[in-house]
Amino acid sequence: MTGKSKVLVSAPLAADLLARIEAEYEVIQLPSANVLRGATAGEYAEVIGWLTTVKQPVNESVLAALPALRTVSNYAVGYDNIDVAAATDRGVQICNTPGVLDDAVAALTVGAILNAVRGLSRAERFVRAGQWVAGNAFPLTTDVHGKTLGILGMGRIGKRVAPVAAALGMRVIYHNRTPIAGEVPGGAEYASRDELLATADVVVLLVPLTEATKGFIGAADFAAMKESAFFVNPARGALVDEDALIAALRSEAIAGAALDVTVVEPLPADSPLLELENVTLLPHIGSATVETRRAMAELAVDNLLDSLAGRTPKGAVNDVKAGATV
């Protein structure tokens, strides 16, 4: 017995970051693969803080089993694994790690655009399969310069993607619920959702996942896109009706797609997506760089310690005193 308050850590942390928490609290480590449920969370009833990943559902039943909990620090920018309203009602501070992964995700998004349009992954498979040395010619692809990039959800990441796309010679348009006041990076122009879908040669989805945005893109949206258009999703799989996307790719209603996320992760071995040549599939690696994951972990630890000490965490998602999401 240490006499210290208990904190649960179910995210991978470097030794020095774990030591920062251990200096003030008794740390209980839970492998991230061990998912807590309401029926199993009771053994951690004394924990006052929890540093976790999106793999852990923090729902009403889990929160009810953790009556002493004051803070949940998510090691991610997304927090769709958390029932924020239920947490706020219970006075539990929710935190995430915004900002520190924007550049990494933006870079991956640009890479995914180039991969989709220029067929880089297909070309690499072509070489490995011996097609080049056999004298076969890889099919011609298309340029990105002179094309229109449509960004659905012009937030922090979109504002980093837009100027890079513009530097590659792309026209950039975007759609938000409300147009952005003033100049937008990359000279991006506002468009209605319908106009963006009908006009863009590449549609990038950068909308946060909430209950309201599940299934944000569906069959009607793919039907509205050009047959020559590409769809890129580095955000969340559940934003998309995956069956509708598969149908659009199979029928070549759109030219192709690049996905860093899918509805079920890891992607099941029997997923129809694996059978399609016109889709690039990545294993949710938008923030997966050494530097970015370190910055995320540091912020997650800062959020946890600041919140438990009564300080306002940098990554506050909700305002417990006001009873609302920030």
Catalytic residue positions, numbered: 236, 265, 284
Would you say 46 and 69 are in contact if contact means Cβ atoms under 8 Å apart?
no
Buried b (16+ CB within 10 A) or exposed e, 161-190: bbbbbbebebbbbbbbeeeeeeebbbebee
Taking Cα atoms as reference points, which of 32, 236, 43 lies closest to residue 153? 236
CA 163 to chain centre: 21
